[in-house]
């Protein structure tokens, strides 16, 4: 079974600075998707960024980028120029492509606080 581990329960960063959130996963599959979701206090799950495992290039979405290390099964999220609105829980998630089901496996999350 796949597992996702987020080793940082809480992190904080000053506004305008850069922060990196860690995520590791375990799978025997070769083809899969990885995601970072943001959950603000409103509790809605918002997709931040996703990565296909077969793509070597790291995904980037504006201030958000990932460092995908397939061999190490690591998928960290870097937030540049942090803004107060980035304060939220961040969940790393894995989706396999075998077995016919698109179920996401989530980590336990990292609570990020951006300080003014």
Partner 1 sequence: NAGVMQNPRHLVRRRGQEARLRCSPMKGHSHVYWYRQLPEEGLKFMVYLQKENIIDESGMPKERFSAEFPKEGPSILRIQQVVRGDSAAYFCASSLSGPVNTGELFFGEGSRLTVL
Interaction site with partner 1 (CB under 8 A): 4, 33, 37, 42-47, 50, 52, 91, 93, 95, 97, 100-109
CB of 69 to partner 1, least distance (A): 19
Nearer to partner 1, 11 or 95 (CB): 95
Distance CA 50, CA 48 (A): 7
Nearest Cα neighbor of 38 from 74, 58, 15, 63 is 63
Which residue lies nearer to partner 1 by CB, 39 or 80? 39
Q: Of 48 and 79, which has the nearer Cβ to partner 1?
A: 48
Question: Within 12-114, where are the H helices?
Answer: none
Question: Minimum Å distance from CB 43 to partner 1?
Answer: 5
HSE-up (13 A, CA, CB side) for residue 36: 30
Is the separation of the CB atoms in 92 and 77 below 8 Å? yes
Nearest to 8 by CA among 115, 114, 111: 111
CB of 32 to partner 1, least distance (A): 9
Least distance (Å) between residue 46 CB and partner 1: 8
């Amino acid at each position: 079974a796949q597992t996702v581990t987020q080793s940082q329960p809480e992190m904080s960063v000053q506004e305008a600075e850069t922060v990196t959130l860690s995520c590791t996963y375990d799978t025997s599959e070769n083809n899969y998707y990885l995601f970072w979701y943001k959950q603000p206090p409103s509790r809605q799950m918002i997709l931040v960024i996703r990565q296909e495992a077969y793509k070597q290039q790291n995904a980037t979405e504006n201030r958000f980028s990932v460092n995908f290390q397939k061999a190490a099964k690591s998928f960290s999220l870097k937030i540049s120029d942090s803004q107060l609105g980035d304060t939220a829980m961040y969940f790393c998630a894995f989706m396999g492509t075998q077995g016919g089901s698109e179920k996401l496996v989530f980590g336990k999350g990292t609570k990020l606080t951006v300080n003014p």
